[in-house]
Structure 1
Amino acid sequence: MLRTAVVIYNLGGPDKLDSVEPFLFNLFNDPLILRQIAPIRWVLAKLISNRRTPVAKKIYEQIGGKSPILEETQKQASVLEKELKDDQSAEYRVFVAMRYWHPFVEECLKKVEEFSPNNIILLPLYPQFSTTTTESFLRAWRGTTRKKKIDIPTSAICCYPRQKNFIETTSHAIRKEIEKSSVHLADLKILFSAHGIPKKFVADGDPYQTHVTKTVAAIVDDLAIPNLDYITCYQSRVGPIEWLKPYTDTVILEAAKKEKTIMVVPVAFVSEHSETLVELDIEYRELAIKNGASDYIRIPTVGTNTDFIRGLAKIVKEAGNQSPGLTNVGGEPCDKSCVACPLL
């Protein structure tokens, strides 16, 4: 029987407060995050991580002194593996890797090798492709496998911004909250919030914003609610440079002053972590209520939702039927303006 290793991966996060600074250094020392030559990038990463550590520690102190992203991802891995066991044509084992903290690519690969798979499938927990996320991880993976001379046929899934199960899981959660809150649609403002990236990256051809737009359009189409008042916005910006707009906090302020019920839908996060549990649930809730919002509702991430996981299993099985290499089984080709799309 074919033995397939499925590696699901995400950003990672500190597992204790003492890990915050080295985690931040790893993040900012990534050449796809700080796009500077290596010596300058190293110095800047040291300065930024040192400066941001006290603020970041306060954030993690509010959620137990660490990021929950590893535990959340391990739960997703467990549920996905159970879903894949229904396929009698192959034996699947699901592994977890993180980009900026443990388990790093090298740690994950060691476990994968012990499984002795016939092939590997890399599945991003980023529905929308970006050079700052998926491409960054794939470079780290390729670099590590070359260094260790590992030559196992590998398929890498690019993205799945409009994957049916992902879209329907999100739209169902929105519809459920609308019904539960009994809010009048005329008083509701829906914010589809995604993690921002510098505007320059998009100008240079990163397809991320295009993918986020596709995700939001698909959710709105599935909701099929006439005259829905919604907007796509971007959160978690860092530093003085311009990031993708509109900024989520700015949109919240505007809606709150109109006394709207604000519903925030995280469309680029598939698990809970500091950006949802602190930034959205605490900081932005306080911002909304203090400035006059009638109510503030945050839609949960898709997490281990059965339909979402079933959708991931479909993508994995489709990728297993493709030739090794990068595949867009969960997505579709990008517009030619997105020159950083690896499939163009």
Structure 2
Amino acid sequence: MAQKHGVLIVNLGTPSEATPAAIKHYLGEFLRDRQVVDLPPLLWLPILYGIVIPKRLKYITEHYQAIWLNNQSPLLFYCEQLWHKMQVRYPDLPCELAMTYGEPSLLSALERLKNCDTIHVISLYPQYSTTTTLAASKKINQLVSNWPQPPIFNYLYDYADNPHYIDALVYHIDQHLCLNQPDILLLSYHGIPMSYVKKRPDEYVTRCELTTHLIKQKITRYYPQLEVMMTFQSRFGKGKWTEPNTSDVLFELAKKERSVTVICPGFAVDCIETLHEIDIENRELFINAGGKSFNYIPALNDNPLQCELLAALINESLPKQPN
């Protein structure tokens, strides 16, 4: 009997609404995960619910409200667009979309795929990290641990150096640089605590450096005078995080009156970290500090380039058909 294959597309997650209640619920689920914050629960949960969420809820709600798209979060909107396009492209292949935290839930997606013999999990995290990719796979394994005959799961490690991914990004960047070439192309990735890099260990920084190297190698063929820099954003708390910090670098570049274009290669689709943190907060910081010009290149989102990339990742995951 032929094996039945299915595809599960996974991203991090998002609040269901841009309201304090929905955002509080989402942050609670997200930040309770030990892969995200590895402090002991007895220590962390009182801090999370007594200090962190109450202190940050008002302005996080305002930030989500500023970027809300078509009555939902941009992350969910673009992921759903990609998912629908893959369903059209692969009409005979069961394909589901799920979020590690929030809706659509991993459990509901897995239930719809439970008749598959093998589920190919495509996590939309180009660079592997224990805080994202591993968190999703651990949750999936936990959810099916009591199933009598769970499917085989084929996890995509990451696609930091996948030629389809690099080519899509380089072409996407070129479409913007050819219209307005800056002094600096800044590649900003989400940061993680340095303690995770050392003690887990987590290869995330190395994977980001690899993506940066491959992009720089190709894009500077067309723009030999372009300076390419790599930074990390979204620092949280007082501990040491991956460096250099995006905001600090932008501030220094602004004082030198440089022109900057920013892209966030670690984000498959736009979200609060790109649309608000980069394109609103850091743009304002840069311009107010004297920067010459600031441009943000959107994520690949549901661009045809991203659709071709996702199709390539699915094709590479599925077993090869005999000739």
TM-score (norm 1): 0.85
What's the counterpart of residue 283 of structure 1? Answer: 281
Measured in 2, the distance between the counterparts of 1:101 and 1:4 equals 25
Letter in 2 for 1:241: G
Shift of 1:101: 0.9
1:273 is aligned to 2:271: yes
Deviations 1:273-299 (A, max 9, x none): 111111111111111111122211111
Contact 2:164 2:312 in 1 (8 A): no
Tell me the secondary structure at the aligned position of residue 243 of structure 1. coil
After TM superposition, list the pairs within 5 Å mapping 1:89-100 onto structure 2.
91-100=92-101
Q: How many angstroms apart in 2 are the aligned matches of 1:150 and 1:7?
A: 18
- The corresponding residue for 2:297 is 299
What corresponds to 1:44 in structure 2?
Answer: 47
* Structure 2 residue matching 1:272: 3-state secondary structure: coil
Q: Quick one: distance in 1 between partners of 2:226 and 2:141?
A: 44
> Aligned partner of 1:172: which letter?
Y
Structure 1 unaligned segments of length 5 or more: list them: 86-90, 323-344
Report the 3-state secondary structure (helix = DSSP H, G, I; strand = E; otherwise coil) of the residue aligned with 2:146. Answer: helix
Unaligned 5+ segments in structure 2 are none
Say what the alpha-carbon RMSD is for the aligned residues: 1.8
Question: Conserved in 2, the CA contact under 8 Å of 1:7 and 1:97?
Answer: yes
Contact 1:22 1:49 in 2 (8 A): no
1:66-215 paired onto structure 2 within 5 Å: 67-85=73-91, 91-113=92-114, 116-181=115-180, 183=181, 188-204=183-199, 205-215=201-211
**1:29 and 2:32 correspond:** yes
- Retained in 1: the 8 A contact 2:75–2:269? yes
Normalization by structure 2: what TM-score?
0.91
What is the CA–CA distance in structure 2 between the aligned matches of 1:198 and 1:248, rounded to whole Å? 15
Q: Please identify, of 60-69 and 200-209, the stretch whose mean Cα deviation from structure 2 is larger.
A: 60-69
Distance 2:252 2:44 in 1: 37
Amino acid at match of 1:95: E
Percent of paired sites with the same residue: 25
AA partner of residue 319 (structure 2):
N
The 1-side partners of 2:28 and 2:55 are apart by 11
Cα separation, 1, equivalents of 2:78 and 2:266: 15
The AA in structure 2 aligned to 1:222 is K
Contact 2:190 2:233 survives alignment (8 Å): yes
**C-alpha distance in 2, partners of 1:162/1:126?**
12
Distance 1:297 1:93 in 2: 39
SS at 1:193's partner residue?
strand
Instruction: Report the counterpart of residue 8 of structure 1 in structure 2.
Output: 9
- Look up the match of 1:233: 231
Match in the other structure for 1:335: none
Report what 2:253 is aligned to: 255
Which stretch of the first structure deviates more once superposed, 217-226 or 118-127?
217-226
CA distance in 2, matches of 1:51, 1:66: 24
Q: 1:96 to 1:226 in 2, by over 3 A?
A: same
Distance across 2 between alignment mates of 1:149 and 1:276: 42
1:310 aligns with: 308
Give the 3 Å change call, closer, same or farther, for CA 66–77 of structure 1 in structure 2. closer
Letter aligned with residue 129 of structure 1 = Y
In the alignment, does 2:227 pair up with 1:221?
Answer: no
> Are the counterparts in 2 of residues 272 and 301 from structure 1 also a CA contact under 8 Å?
yes
In structure 1, distance between residues paired with 2:74 and 2:310: 21
Partner secondary structure for residue 180 of structure 1: coil
Instruction: Give the aligned residue type for 1:62.
Output: A
Aligned to 1:342: none
Q: Which amino acid aligns with 1:165?
A: H
Q: Does the 8 Å CA contact 2:6/2:113 hold for their aligned counterparts? A: yes
CA drift of 1:104 comes to 1.9
Q: Is the 8 A contact 1:120 1:152 kept in 2?
A: yes
Q: Distance in 2 between matches of 1:43 and 1:105?
A: 27
Please state whether the residue corresponding to 2:94 is helix, strand or coil: strand
